[in-house]
Structure 1
Amino acid sequence: MNWQARMIAADDDFNGAPLLRSEFTLDEGHGAVTGATLTLSAQGVVEAWLNGRPVSDDLLTPGWSSYEWRLRYATYDVTGLIEDTSVLGLALGNGWFRGRLGWSGRGEFYGTELGAFAQLEVTFADGATQTVVTDESWTAGPSAVLANDLYDGETIDARRRDDAWRRPGFSGEGWVGVHALDVDTSILTPYVGPKVTRWNELPVKAITTSPSGKTLIDFGQNLVGWVRVSVQGPEGSEVLIKHAEVLEHGELGTRPLRTALATDRYILSGGEDVFEPTFTFHGFRYAEITGWPGELKPEDLTAVAIGSDLERIGTFRSSDPMLNQFHENVVWGMRGNFVDVPTDCPQRDERLGWTGDIAAFAPTAAFLYDIDAFLSDWLRDLALEQEHQDDVIPYVVPDVLKYLEKPGGFPETDSTAIWSDAGVWVPWTLYQAYGDKEVLANQFASMTGHVRRVHSKLSANGLWDTGFQFGDWLDPDAPPEDPAKAKADTGVVATACAFHSATIVAETAKILGRDAEYAEFSTIAADLRAAFNEHYVDNGRVFSDCTTVYALAIVFDLLDAADEAVAGDRLAELAAEAGYRISTGFAGTPFITDALTRTGHLDDAYKLLLEKECPSWLYPVTMGATTVWERWDSMLPDGTINPGEMTSFNHYALGAVADWMHRVVGGIAPLAPGYSSVLIAPQPGGGLTEAETALETPAGRVAVQWTVSDDQLSVTAEIPEGVTGVLRLPGQDDRAIEGGRVSVTVPVLDTVGARS
């Protein structure tokens, strides 16, 4: 871009929410306006109006990127908004740039001044252009927003609202000048991923009174966004809305928020007021209302769900209502945590782009929604952070932790299994899901850099048993205060993950025609496999003898055939000994059902999936959950919130089993990247009598529907024209299929081939 604009800041900060405006007249003598494009960015978050009309419905522009090296801009066609005399108006908020981030209570990690950047280019009929830019000629003034923070909420004083500043002829009383900021425009880059938008609205489900007399609102669904309020009351009176995900013994459960206030405060004008706090967001199902004038009616409040603008492409449904609710919980958890950055949780004083969470969940996400652009954008920040940290892929991206004092148990950031492996696993997932090699080419330096650094960290015995590891984070047997204290040996977990990443990078090099790197990483992978088997495997028994180490060893192809059979039997034995209650954390949970299925223990995989006692995937469903929890027991059976300091009711990582549900229960898996060839292979079990799954692939729609009735399994599959596939049913020979629809019925007895 030919940038003529400057990043400008208001001479008065105006409570962290200044308004900026420029009034201009179109050049004469060039004919009609044939086009007008506005390019917009900010230090902070920005909303724009042209002649009083919003430029777009986007929220929180320009989002959160690694601001030190990459600041995104949005581009809008505003041709229809241009008038002979026009006003371009901008509203700023703190956002991620200057607001609180992490658990330190601090903000301003990226800078102390909010800034606005805009370049409006108008094209006339004769080809002439006129450019309007942010510069020192602009003016700035106060808004109705008195405070705004992503964690703490927003305060809006409706008495201060006056839209006259958006229109020509505004007097500007009380307004001040602006000054230019020293910002290197070379860091400006267009969005790769989608913008954040409103994507759903939910009505009030119930209004109740808590045991202490508080007014509580239940929207029936844990979501991310805010409450839109319509209210009329005495001028100057205040309404407070406090948000939380759960109730604890009938009261709003705010302890899991830690220091996040999650409270919006509205000061009434005396007339009819509508409030939407678009410079914050909350993770909530429940709201506590204080100060409401008169009778509170359900129609006065609407929950507005926000998130990155993603296209839904995959669906799943079965004959089990609880399993369907769990799947719906996975969907809502993903949407709530895909707000510009793939975050761990959306409610407390954290909301960071933890790499371990998305490493576990990416295959599930890639089936449910088209996340190619969303994660490709985030991966660019990951590579930048890595490039500036000696090839260390940090725990979070963007990496604000490098500015924070580390909490107990966190050493200086270094490569760590699963979390840093996101730099390899996520681009590989995108390639498998969507078939575009560009993501591999773009991330190849990042992928190779990660594995080379890990290789440099190996002990003399060839194992990755050095340095800090999260390991099997949130093993359900770990104490609440020490979520890293898992049964699985951290060296076993890390070495297995290092092998998996090296194998992926070798395959990536082969795909990209990088022969030298293919040889290099194939050797690294072979050496890791040999060391793993020498030091950690004894006749099929894997060191530390717990479900996670067996799941990783099996799914990552670390074992020879004889050892894999023994390991599979031991894994099934351990699952049975646990009563089919979950015994894995972040490392093992995405892979345990696949490991059981692969080694002939499909029945055990279903028993694990469908168990309802805590800890299990369905236990939260029995407790009324509408999203996936961070801990298996985030809420205890008696309705008490887990006593650990770290508890969230909206974390997608443990929902990664939905990937297995799509492929094994539903029966849709890629035989080639991008589903150019498809495997149709449903494996019924667990007492399910039917399931249906569908996916909009790059080549078109793939759908599978099956039923079990009267000792017969009936399967109907549909694949796009031009796509080849394989139909694989239990007890049957593989059958080649081509584009179109196929229906097959086989004896149900032939489906019972799994050992229990």
Structure 2
Amino acid sequence: MKITKLRVNQIEKPIGFTMDTISFSWIIVDYQNAKKQKYAQIIVKKDNHIIFDSGKDENANSLDYQVQLMLEPRTRYSWEVAVTAENGESACQKSWFETGKLKEAWRAKWISPTFDKEIHPCFYKEITIDKKVKQARTYLTGLGLYELYLNGKKVGNEFLAPGYHSYDFHLQVHTYDITKYLIEGKNQIEVLLGAGWYKGRLGFDGGYTDVYGDSYYLIQELHIEYEDKTSLFVGTDTSWQCKPSAIMDSNIYDGELYDARLEAMFDYQEVVEREPIQCGPLTDRYSLPIIKKEKLKPLQLIKTKKGEQVLDFGQNITGWVEFNCNLSKDTIICLTASEIMQEGCFYNENYRTAKAKFTYISDGKKAHVRPHFTFFGFRYMKVECAEPIIKENFEAYHIRSDIDQIGKIETGHKKVNQLFSNALWSQKDNFLDVPTDCPQRDEKLGWTGDAQIFSDTACFNMYMPAFYRKYLWDMRAEQSILEGSVPNVVPRLKHDMISEHGSCPWADAGVIIPWNVYLHYGSKTLLLETYPGMKAWVDYQKKKEEALGGKHLVKDGFHFADWLALDNEKPGPFGATNALFIASAYYYHCSKIVGKAAKILGLEEDSIFYETLAEEIKKAIHETYFDKYGLCICKTQTASALVIEFGLMPEQEKKEGQKLKNLIFENKKHLNTGFVGTTVLCPALSKTGNHKLAVDLLLNEDYPGWLYAVNLGATTIWERWNSVMPDNSMNPEGMNSLNHYSYGSIESWMYRYICGFKPCEEEAGFRYALLAPHPDERLGFVKALFNTAMGTYISEWMYDKEGKVSYYFEVPFGAKAVIALKKGCYQCNQKRVEGYVFEVECGIYEIQEREGNYFSKCFYDDTLNT
């Protein structure tokens, strides 16, 4: 028996992260005959002195064990958890966490260059170390982006720090352990700064610069502790110096220009003490580090008929290309990004105004070269250089927030497997500090609608709670000045899009994302933290609709609704489903969720209020949008799917399911849904007994369908169903990102229905789950692994030559599940089961379909009542 994944606030060994609340969690693995935890003991120490001891707590929650601690700034704490199982097996494991500055006053001063505000600066300070160092930390942030160097070595493994956040509400400070970088004698500190999201170009049609400020700023404190117990403090002030760096230009959209000839050309100048004036207070970080996660070698160097040289890395990724440079002095090498070739030649017109280019001018010295303050979305890189190009000198690095994959699905259908890979890669590529819409063109913004639609899939694929915690903090900050309304993008652009908020289903991210995070990871601590924002969005809608005369319906406003649906005969990106119906349906759905969240948090008054509000909204929807037979009058696939998935008319669910089936058959067994409808379409079909039709849609290989893009060589999810036409040309309608994850939300349905993983609301975090796979012979087999917050679930099924199905399940330590199979009689390795629904605890279950005619009551349903 072993304890693993010891986390504090959902992060392993966090250093310098915000510690407003402290929640411990852990996972048990490698157990023998144990099934569940009997008790656990959590001990927290500072300098080997115990400051907290839970004792043998029989109620210790391995998903979320909150502890009240009086923490000190800049302090490392050790903690350990000892677990004893019901059969006497036991294990103990230790870890640590370290605080940042907390609320400690800053001794350092903000500094800024004295030269032109558009010149990229390099700050400098020399210090002398004359004793043996015990430990050293630095606390800093730079605006817009920074890289810290000590004695010529980059500190840490993260890039694009301090990330993209709502700078007008908080400035995130990062903490680094710099002990190993210091040497005895003179030490040189350098900090490079770039424009980034803070002052670089953001937005459409050329966008805006200086969104949060127009100058570069740095604040930094070094705290060095010697072995003789003395210390050295170094903080930014006017004793620091600054010079122009070799970075001549950089921004998130256009790329970077680096002139190596300038590295030693400029002299250092004085700096001034100056604070950013449009920004929030300095706070410890929420953002996970942005790091290199994967490396790709080029598959080929293509020489086009236009004479271009293009590197093909075989996969559409977010990041950059690095190379070993041995070019003559003054030689220029330019790399330009693209997602697709056209007629065998380089093409990136779908990037719109984004130049997506990295240019390097050689000083004649050997160097390993990479960009500093930009990133690209690309599969291809055009290389322009007067000297020969050697393919082996180049490597592509995928960068993203430091989140890891926890879910995987493999089927017997190669194209479905590629679809799974495509959606996973689109998540990897767009989860860079915020969930962006796309990583390549002049956008790269945290669109809330895309994030909401994909959030359930995201939580199945990767371990998301810490990432979403940061995004939802920014969301609540933006809500605080919008009376609770949620912006269309978070962080909100403070120019041009300042008034764009409250649009369905974009704004509904304020409720749906934190709810999905709770269902997947079971943290009441995080649910309580996000609850004010959830409540604020519903309250905003209630106040607005009451001001327009009541009746609990959304009556006006701009709504994206079923964005990019194909069912509207009128040209444009809007679907045919009544936008106010969709908005009202989401109003009901969000009110219901807030009521559930309040109940879970013990807020009984709120629970009653929002559950009552939800019922009143549903009644108003019935009166306005349903006919006398109890069917929705909006005759679109999206409307019917919403009715079923949101439970708007549960007593007529089967009839609405038949109506949905008919609508799909009328469309020649193809979908015509957009952002809203696509997410709920297949779940609604499976829920109403039409699972085979849902799989039909999954397996459609022509347009519109998921495998259409796979057949055209896609390695990520596209923005439109036909962003690329059958002849491989780009769709002339525009808005053709080839890395837009929204339609990848089909993976949520694959996890929930094909594999059968469904969480329980009352015991979230997969402590209690429904395992109800829906086999389909066309897929041959399914092997799904899901590393939940409780541990690893496995769900597998396979057809034999006689058409019978065998199943394999694993349920992790401390968890329980209801296995619900299709109608039939089965033999299980654990016990004889007659029927097809039974509750199990931790263990391995191998089940074979057998001949028989004894059937018990079917529990093959979407709900799990404990």
TM-score (normalizing by structure 1): 0.94
Match of 2:526 among 431, 434, 439: 439
Q: Report the counterpart of residue 807 of structure 2 in structure 1.
A: 715
| Aligned residue number for residue 243 of structure 2 | 141
Q: 2:507 aligned with 1:404, yes or no?
A: no
Report the CA distance shift for 1:352/1:480 in structure 2 as closer, same or farther (over 3 A): farther
Superposition map of 1:361-372 within 5 A: 361-372=454-465
Give the aligned residue type for 1:690: F
Q: Deviation per CA, 1:613-654, whole angstroms, max 9, x where unpaired?
A: 111111110110000001111111111111123210001111
Is this contact kept in 1: 2:119–2:244, CA < 8 A? no
Match for residue 42 of structure 1 among 127, 130, 142: 142
Residue 33 of structure 1: CA displacement?
Answer: 2.0
Counterpart for residue 469 of structure 1: 559
Please tell me the residue identity of whatever aligns with 1:50.
Answer: L
2:594 counterpart residue number: 505
Give distance in 1, aligned partners of 2:733 and 2:851. Answer: 46
Deviation, structure 1 residue 147: 1.0
Residues 694-743 of structure 1 show CA distances to partners (whole Å, capped at 9, x for unaligned) of 11112211111111112221111111122111111111431111111110
How many Å separate the matches in 2 of 1:637 and 1:237? 41
* SS state at 1:315 partner: strand
Do residues 331 (structure 1) and 424 (structure 2) align? yes
The equivalent residue for 2:509 is 422
Partner of 2:199: 98
1:60 to 160, 169, 173: 160
Residue in 1 aligned with 2:476?
Answer: 383
Task: Give the alignment of 1:300-319 within 5 angstroms.
Answer: 300-319=393-412
Structure-2 change in CA distance of 1:292 and 1:203 (3 Å): farther
| Corresponding position: 1:552 with 2:637 | no
Q: Is contact 2:837–2:859 with CA below 8 Å preserved after alignment?
A: no
Deviation of 1:675 (Å) = 0.6
117-126 vs 13-22, greater mean Cα deviation = 13-22
Partner SS, residue 589 of structure 1: helix
Following superposition, the deviation at residue 405 of structure 1 comes to: 6.2
Q: Distance in 2 between matches of 1:142 and 1:749?
A: 81
Q: Secondary structure at the match of 2:554?
A: coil
Match of 1:483?
Answer: 573
Q: Does the CA-based 8 Å contact 1:69-1:384 persist in structure 2?
A: yes
Match of 2:85 in 1: none
The residue number in structure 1 matching 2:705 is 616
The amino acid across from 1:529 in the alignment is: K
Asked if the contact 1:7/1:42 (under 8 Å) is kept, the reply is: no
Is the 8 Å Cα contact of residues 16 and 93 (structure 1) preserved in structure 2? Answer: no
AA in 2 matched with 1:212:
K
Q: Which of 83-92 and 687-696 deviates more?
A: 83-92
CA contact (8 A) 1:322 1:618 kept: yes
Q: State the secondary structure of the residue aligned to 1:721.
A: strand
Which residue in 2 is equivalent to 1:167? Answer: none
How far 1:55 moved relative to its partner? Answer: 1.3
Q: Distance in 1 between matches of 2:684 and 2:676?
A: 13
Are positions 1:665 and 2:754 aligned together? yes
Inter-CA distance 202–728: structure 2 relative to 1 (3 Å threshold): same
Identify the range of structure 1 (182-191 vs 584-593) with the bigger mean alpha-carbon deviation. 182-191
- In the aligned structure 1, how far is the partner of 2:274 from the partner of 2:703? 55
What runs of 5+ residues in structure 2 fail to find an aligned partner? 1-100, 824-834, 862-866
Question: Is 2:685 the counterpart of 1:583?
Answer: no
Which residue, 821, 824, 833 being the options, matches 1:729? Answer: 821
Alpha-carbon distance, 1:271 to partner: 3.4
Corresponding residue of 1:674:
765
Match of 1:293 in 2: 387
Tell me which amino acid in the other structure corresponds to 2:108: A
Q: Which amino acid aligns with 1:444?
A: Y
| Aligned: 1:536 with 2:625 | yes
Alignment-mate amino acid for residue 712 of structure 2: M
Matched letter for residue 615 of structure 1: P
Judge conservation of contact 1:15–1:146 (CA < 8 Å) in 2.
no
The one-letter amino acid of 1:438's match is T
The one-character-per-residue Cα deviations of 1:588-636 (angstroms, maximum 9, x if unpaired) are 1111111001111011110011111111111110110000001111111
Q: How far did 1:161 drift?
A: 3.3
CA–CA distance in 2 between the matches of 1:560 and 1:405?
39
Give how far 1:15 is off: 5.2
Larger % of helix: which?
Answer: 1
Residue 738 of structure 2 is matched in structure 1 by: 649
Report if the CA contact (8 A) 1:590-1:657 is conserved: yes
Give the 3 Å change call, closer, same or farther, for CA 77–414 of structure 1 in structure 2. Answer: closer
Q: Tell me if structure 1 keeps the 8 A contact 2:820–2:859.
A: no
CA distance 1:160–1:746, shift in 2 (3 Å): same
Inter-partner Cα distance in structure 2 for 1:207 and 1:187:
49
Measure, in 2, the Cα distance between the counterparts of 1:68 and 1:488: 37
Task: Write the letter of the residue equivalent to 2:560.
Answer: F
TM-score by length of structure 2 reads 0.82
Which shifted more, 540-549 or 330-339? 540-549
C-alpha displacement at 1:186, in angstroms? 6.6
Q: 1:260 aligns with which of 349, 354, 361?
A: 354
Where 1:456 maps in the other structure, the secondary structure is helix
- Find the counterpart in structure 1 of residue 78 from structure 2: none
Once the two structures are superposed, residues 663-685 of structure 1 have per-residue CA deviations (whole angstroms, 9 ceiling, x without a partner) of 21122222331010122211112
Please give the residue correspondences for 1:738-749 in structure 2 after superposition, counting only pairs within 5 Å: 738-747=841-850
Where does residue 126 of structure 2 map in the other structure?
23
What are the superposed Cα offsets for residues 209-231 of structure 1, whole Å, 9 maximum, x if unpaired?
22322222211100011111223
Query: Alpha-carbon deviation of 1:261?
Result: 0.4
Check conservation: 1:237, 1:267, Cα contact below 8 A: yes
| Segment of structure 1 superposing worse, 262-271 or 339-348 | 262-271
Mapped partners of 1:450, 1:357: distance in 2: 18
Matched, 1:269 2:352: no
1:628-643 correspondence to structure 2 within 5 Å:
628-643=717-732
**Which SS does the other structure have where 1:41 is aligned?**
strand
Aligned to 2:68: none
> Taking every aligned residue pair, what percent have the same amino acid on both sides?
33
* Per-residue deviation, 1:173: 6.0
Distance in 1, Cα, partners of 2:298 & 2:242:
38
Pick the aligned partner of 2:542 from 434, 455, 466. 455
Point out the more displaced range, 228-237 or 242-251. 228-237
